[in-house]
Structures are given as structure tokens and as C-alpha cells.
Structure 1
Amino acid sequence: MRFDLSTPRSLTAGIALTLAVLAGVELLPARTLDLKGPGIARGPYLMTVADPDNQTSLRWLDAAKQRRLRCHYTRLETYMGCGLTYVLSGNDPSQGRDLSHFDSIEVDLSYKGPSPFVRLAVRNFDPRFSKPDDINSARFHSVNLRLRDIGTPVRVDLNELTVPDWWIHQFDLAREYNRPGLQNAVSVAIDVIMVQPGQVHELEVRRMVLKGQWVSRDQVYLGIVVAWLLAASVMALRGWTRLRQRYNRQAREIDALTARTRQLRIEQEKLRRLATIDELTGVLNRRGLEQSLDDLEAAAQGMTLVLLDIDHFKRINDRHGHDRGDEVLRRIAAVVAANLRASDVFGRWGGEEFLIACQGKRIRDAARVAEKLRERVQQSNIDGPDGRIAVTASFGVALAPPGGSTADALKRADAALYRAKEAGRNRVETDKTQQSDSPTTV
């Protein structure tokens, strides 16, 4: 089925499809990844260091559930971690999860202690500079959550995560390596910053769920706009091509008919009283043709006559109506006029019959002109209520030599036309009584 916005059915179908896509995007369930769900991540692991003297305390308050932890450092340590980490990589520490398809992370946690912030952090392994045996070389992203923000479950947009200055200064990499990116995240962590000896911190992480869209709304909206623009462009191009072809074809016919009409207007002024113009087709009528034939005969220069009769014209009138039959007569007149010289005489002899008089022609040349006209008539594009109307014509050609009788030449052209009809129509027959191919006197 060809999609064309110019038809009401296609336009309605396009609108319905657009609405269905928009509704589908809105109704599509969110894409989720529960970091605490089975098989998603390893851990959680406590952030701690070896403590041979057992003076540093970082332990689970609920070892079975591993949701609540307590930090209490009694002395200053090289690293004083207080938090938990979910590891997203498997056996290969360089292969994590692509989190770029998610928009946000929902966190449900609580904190008791002196720290003004709780930090959410994600590490992303970048093979351009990260090393599998050094977890700190994975690019660090973080955002600080204020205590008043975490009193209830909080939604954190992933674009809030930034690469902190301390990590940039520590690794001193090129600027393009310091841009945030979560295409290969290897861990997600919740921890407390600015931990001091003697302080007690209690942290409970009840839920961490990543959320996103299966299909980006922006991409869907852009796709819809592009699809409509493409459909409109194709429709406009197709329509313009059809109009251009029709315009070029009709322009040639109209130009020829305009030139013919201009010439006829001059003649019309001279012969206005004789009413020599056929009102339907705009070419000479029988009286005008007879006047012109008399003038050519008086000039005694000789001429060739081509009699044209539209095949099965009565059938066209019966099947398509007289209005369409009149259109056929007008179009055939235009087609013939477009393929004649300005000096040739052309008019409607009567009914569906037309006559062409060519001064100073060989009969062979006239037959060639008639064959050209036959092809043009057969190729003419005439639209009817049920589609294209096929139109053909039969031709009879005869020579009126210098000083010869035009009436006699007309009879011989009519006889040749009759033979063309008898031989199957849509053909050219020449007068058999005069086959001389010598040029007439001009």
C-alpha cells in the first residue's frame, strides 16, 4: 500500500499511528535495575581496612540483611572508609554494566551521625587509562546528598554525577578523559565523607534502583517529526513531478495552439463575416477551409491534402458522454496543430473529421507527416471519468498537383481514408492513382 498524505485515508492512518506511538511511549513501563536484586551485583561490601589491633570498628548491625552498618574509628587511619559498595563487574574487573541507558537512581536510606553529607558514587572502567589491578584508576563520579534530602526516598538524576576535582588532580589526565561516562560502570557505592576518629556513624541502605526509558522520548519525538517531514517531502516531490510533467506536455501543446490561434485571429479579422473559425476546437471550420483551399488552388502551386478521421468517435460519445467527446475533439486539434508548420492549413472538415492542406509537398512527405500525426494522436493523454481514453485516428493522403482540382484531390483523399478504415483503422493510406514522388512547383 502506498502512503500518500494527500489522501484522507492515509492522513488519518498517519495521525492514528502517531498517536499510538506517543501513547505507547508514555504507557511503556520504566526500565529498572534493582542493585539489591539477586544476580545484579556482588556485595554489598564494607569499605574498611585491615585492623590487626581490632581498634577500628566498621561492622554490620544486621549481618543477615546487610542493610545497616556502623562506623566507629578510635584512631586515625590511612584510609577511614565508612560505607558499602555494590560491585557490578564479574570475574573480569574491567567488564561492568552499561548504565548510560538509565536516567536516574532511586535511593532509600537513613543516616545518623555528624557528617553533613552522604555520598553516592559510581566508578566507570575506561580501557584508555583504567587498570584492572587498580580499582582507583576507574573514573570516579559522585554527588553529595544533604541530610534533609534523604529523609524520604530520593531520586537522583545520573547527570548530577560529576568527576570530582581530587580525582582529576590525582590522575592528571587529558580533559577528554575527565568527562562523565557510565558506559562501563564497575561499582556503585554509598558512603559517609569526612570521618574523624571517635565519631559514630550509622548508615542504612534499604533500596537502590536505577530507572530509565526503554526508548528515549526525545528520539521518538524526533523520529515522528522526521517521519512526517519525509512523508510530506515525498508527497510534495511526487506531486511536483506529476505537475511538472503535465505542465511541460500541455505547455508545448498550448504554445503550439497559441501560435496557431494568434495566426487565426489575424485571419479571423479578415474573414469575420464568413465565420471561418470552429467554435469548439478553435481551428478553421469547413467554410474557412474551403476559402483557404480556393486560395491555394488559385495560386496554382500544388498541395497535398491529409484527411483525418477519429476512430470510433461515436463509441467515445456513447461511453463517456458528449462533453468528453468535445474534449477529445479539442485535444486532437491541439495535438495536430502542435505538429504542423505555421504555413499549413488545418481545420475541422466536419464532425470528427479534420483536413490538412500542405502547400508544395511531395505525397511521400505528406504521408510521413500523417504518420507522425497518427503516432501523436495515439500517444495523446485524454482523461476520462474511468481513466485514460484511448484515441486513434485514420488518415488518407492525396496530391493536388499545380493546376489540379482540389475537389478531385479531396475525393481521392477520402477514398484513401476509407481504405485505412477498412484495413483496421489507426493507419495512413495514400492515394493509389498518383504515386509520383517528384516535387511540386513552389
Structure 2
Amino acid sequence: MRHEINNNHVVLAGIVLTLAALVGIELLPQRTLDLIAPGAADGPYLITADGTQDGKYVRWIDEKQRRLQCRYTGTHDYMGCGLTFVLTGEDPRLGRDLSHFDTMEVDLAYTGPSPFIRLAIRDFDRRFSKVEDANSARFHSLNLRPRDIDGPLTVELSELTVPEWWIHHYDLSREYNRPGLENANAVSVDIPFVKSGEDHVLQLRRLTLKGQWVSRDRVYLGILCAWLLGATVLVVRGWSQLSRSHHRQQREIDALTMRTRQLRLEQEKLMRLATIDELTGVLNRRGLEQALDDYEEAAQGMTVVMLDIDHFKRVNDRLGHDGGDEVLRRVAAVVVANLRSSDVFGRWGGEEFLIACQGPRMRDAARLAEKLRDRIEHSETTSAGVRVAVTASFGVALAPPGGSVADALKRADAALYRAKAAGRNRVEVDRSLPSDAPTTV
């Protein structure tokens, strides 16, 4: 009972802390950077054709109110105007990390023929940006149409993208063209394209960056992880208590499980001994007969291939029984390596083996027998340092659907006898098929 009460207290405390965290993230003041506020940034500075502040083409109408006018009377290499805030100190390579901000609150007033006003942030990336080339700082921009700035608006910083002209001009690797505001050195509002004789008036009333001190996603992830951890602790604790209270019953279950496993292993061992040839590891005659019975019951027909190792008695006389056993194992391994998983293979007796292939396809079985004959002929067995060349003879017969397997075995054995009589190391196919045999053979 004491443990249950403690668990309830833990869950209740978790709920209270979760609610406190959710309320706290909503009540926590936002991170704010008001670029217009004194000391927040250097500027604003006018953006002019020649980079000077003499007011020839771009001039302040009211500098305190950040209201400017631009009018070009001739053609220049660059014809644009606006204002910019510099975020660096004495070292132009060191800007400010704006990646923690999410939005920018903007309040603009504009009169003139330009189709859009550009909001931009430059980020000095030490991997490629150069102090002597101001444009080499990665450029992020967003074009605002006049109707967008009828009143104050909030811009998501994710809306600012690296423009194609900057990507094309600097031709950097793709990873350098991804947006990044970790070292911003300037924020600007400008009219990028001004024609000679046009009159533009732009006023910046507000430019404020805002973001969360702690990311909501991180708070939610932290809450989720805390609950998962707490749940894991409670589950482990409960499991431990249950394990201790039922320790004696568990020992009995384990003992019963162990005994059952031992009986199963003994049963599998007996079954293996009953159907597996101990010397070669393939099916023995009993295992083959069971498989042939299954094939015959399916009534889909089969082809049987009998193979016999040529002059096996000479091998035994020359190498002894250990050498003969090695030859048997080698032949079995060669056959297994060249059969399909659906084929049945085993030792029929002595040096004789049997292959059963489901389906009445005599030609395929004959090709298989010829392939095995060739592989066995070109394999060598080494026993006691002596290399032994081995060949085998094959007899192939068909048991058509519904036909007798025993009859097919007799005909395969007769075909094998003919292969032996014809000189060994060859394949003989039984041709004495019944009149109703399938024509596809």
C-alpha cells in the first residue's frame, strides 16, 4: 500500500510540473532585439549608389524618424536605396547569432513606383565570406509588396531565402547556399531597383526581432522524455515488486520450462537420428521414404535420380574405410551445393544416393544429373594426403502424377545399371514411360 501511495504522489507531482512548464513557456517573456533602439545596432546607414552618405542621390528627410528619399538623375552601376543596420563591432567578421529568433516585426511606410520593398539579412560565413567583399556574406531576402506593408506585419525568418542571383554569382557548393543566421552582420530594408527620375520615399517605423528563450519544441520534448523516464521507472519498480512476490512461482515455471526444453531437444535428437544419415548429414533411407510418400500423396508427379559412386570398393581398398567415408561426405556436399531448396536428397544405402524433384519434368532432371556428374568428376577428395578422383553414374526416371513411386525407383535403378554397364560416369534416362505420361517431359 505504501508503494502505491508513493507512485500516486509521483504521478501527481509529474502532472503539476508539466502544467507549470506549459504555463511557464507561455508566460515567459520573448527574446527581443529592437534594432531601432539606441545601442542595439550601428546605424541606420543609407544605402546609396556610391556608398557615401552625402545625400546626392539618397538623403534623409527625417533621420530621427528614419525617413529617406531617393531620386537618381543619371545612370549608375548600382541604382538602389534604403537603409541598413550593422551588427558587427570593431571586427567585421564577428556578427550576431540570430538563429534563436523566429520572427521580425516590421512597420514600413512607402510611396513610389517600386513593385516591392526588400527585407534582407547578411550572414558572414568564415568558410567563404571575405571582409573586402561585403556581398560575399550570405544573403537572405524577402520581397514585400506595397499591399503587404499597409500596416505593421510579422515576418517569419524562415521566409527569408538565399536568392538565385547570389547563388549564381558566387557559385559555391550546395551546402554553403543553405540559409543560416548564426553570424549575421547586417539587416537592411531597401528598394533594390530604382530608375532614373523616379521618386521614392521610405520610412522605417519598427524593426524588431523576436524569439523564445527556450524553444517550445525542446520544452515539449523534455516533458515527453521526463514522462517516458518516469513511466519506465514506475514500470521497472512495479516489475521488481511483482518479481519478488512471485519468486517461488517463477522458479517452478522456469524449472518446468527447462524440463520441456530438454524433452524437446531429446525429441528432436531422436527424430534426427531416425531420418538423418550420421555420416553424410543428409537424409537416410527412412527420411527419403517419408519424403517420397509425401510427394506421392500430393499426386503432382516427380522425377527421381539415383546416383552411385563408381568403383567405390576400389576407393575403400586403397584408402581404407576412413577414406571411403570422406569420399561419401564429399559427394554428398557437391550434390547439396547444386540442388534447389525444394529438392529432396539423401543416402539410399552404401554408396548410392537418391534425388527426388517434385514435378514431371524429365528434361530438367536429366540436365541436373548431367550437371552433378560433371561437378563430381571435377571435384577431388583428399584423404591422408592422397588426392582421389571420383566419378558417379546416374539413372533418371519419371513418376507421373498419380503414378507409382516404387515403379519409378525400379526404372531409375535399371537406368543406373545401364549407365554402369555402358562404362560408368554417365547419365541414363528411362524411356519406358506409360502411354498417358505428360507430353511436356
Residue number in structure 1 paired with 2:34:
34
| CA-CA distance at 1:8 after TM superposition | 1.8
Shift of 1:129: 0.3
Q: Distance in 2 between matches of 1:23 and 1:167?
A: 43
Superposed, 1:156-235 pairs within 5 Å as: 156-235=155-234
Counterpart for residue 368 of structure 2 = none
Residue 152 of structure 1 aligns to a residue whose secondary structure is coil
- Report the Cα distance in structure 1 between the residues aligned to 2:160 and 2:109, rounded to whole angstroms: 20
Asked if the contact 2:79/2:192 (under 8 Å) is kept, the reply is no
Question: Partners of 1:124 and 1:20 in 2: how far apart?
Answer: 37
Q: How does 1:418-433 map to 2 (within 5 A)?
A: none
Equivalences for 1:132-143 in 2 at 5 Å? Answer: 132-143=131-142
Structure 1: which amino acid aligns with 2:138?
R
Q: Is the 8 A contact 2:7 2:234 kept in 1?
A: no
Secondary structure of residue in 2 paired with 1:16: helix
**Count of aligned pairs:** 253
Report the equivalent of 2:14. Answer: 14
Three-state SS of the structure 1 residue aligned to 2:71 is strand
- Please report how far the alpha carbon of residue 38 of structure 1 lies from its aligned counterpart in structure 2 after TM superposition: 1.7
Aligned residue in 2 for 1:121: 120
CA 1:217–1:254: 2 relative to 1, 3 Å: closer
Assess, with a 3 A threshold, how the Cα gap between structure 1 residues 179 and 252 changes in structure 2: closer, same or farther.
closer
1:166–1:10 CA distance, 2 compared to 1 (3 A): same
Preserved CA contact (<8 Å) 1:5 1:235:
no
Say if 1:44 and 1:66, in contact at 8 Å, map to a contact too.
no
Where do 5+ consecutive residues of structure 2 fail to align?
256-441
Higher Cα radius of gyration? 1
Judge conservation of contact 2:75–2:196 (CA < 8 Å) in 1. yes
CA contact (8 A) 1:105 1:211 kept: yes
Deviations 1:60-90 (A, max 9, x none): 0013x05100000001101112100000001
Equivalent residues of 1:4, 1:231 under 8 A apart: no
Q: Secondary structure at the match of 2:246?
A: helix
Counterpart for residue 94 of structure 1: 93
Query: Once the 2 structures are TM-superposed, how far is the Cα of residue 3 of structure 1 from its aligned partner?
Result: 11
Q: Give 1:10 deviation, angstroms.
A: 1.6
CA RMSD of aligned residues (A): 2.4
Contact 1:60 1:66 in 2 (8 A): no
Corresponding residue of 1:237: 236
- Alignment-mate amino acid for residue 144 of structure 1: N
Structure 2 vs 1, CA of residues 249 and 148 (structure 1 numbering), >3 Å: closer, same or farther? same
**8 Å CA contact 2:49, 2:81 repeated in 1:** no
What residue in structure 2 maps to residue 23 of structure 1? 23
1:114 to 1:250, Cα distance in 2 relative to 1, 3 A: same
- The superposition leaves residues 280-322 of structure 1 with CA deviations (integer Å, 9 ceiling, x where unpaired) of xxxxxxxxxxxxxxxxxxxxxxxxxxxxxxxxxxxxxxxxxxx
| Counterpart residue number, 2:360 | none
CA distance in 1, matches of 2:74, 2:181: 36
Change (3 A) 1:248 1:124: same
Cα distance in 2 for partners of 1:55, 1:14 equals: 63
Q: 1:24 to 1:69 in 2, by over 3 A?
A: same
The structure-2 alpha-carbon separation of the partners of 1:175 and 1:247, relative to structure 1 and needing over 3 Å to count, comes to same
Further displaced range: 213-222 or 172-181: 213-222
Change beyond 3 A, Cα 1:80–1:255:
closer
Aligned in 2, Cα 1:255/1:89: closer, same or farther, shift over 3 Å?
closer
Given the two structures, how large is their TM-score scaled by the length of structure 2? 0.54
- Once residues 173 and 142 of structure 2 are traced to their aligned partners in structure 1, the CA distance between those partners, rounded to angstroms, is 22
- Does the 8 A contact of 2:99 with 2:181 survive in 1? yes
Give 1:255 shift.
Answer: 9.6
**Whole-Å Cα distance in 2 between the matches of residues 163 and 100 of structure 1?**
15
State the 1:193 CA deviation: 2.5
Partner of 2:45: 45
Report the TM-score, using the length of structure 1 for normalisation: 0.54
**What secondary structure sits across from 1:73 in the alignment?**
coil
Distance 1:231 1:143 in 2: 45
Instruction: For 2:158 and 2:3, locate their aligned partners in 1 and report how far apart those are by CA, in whole Å.
Output: 41
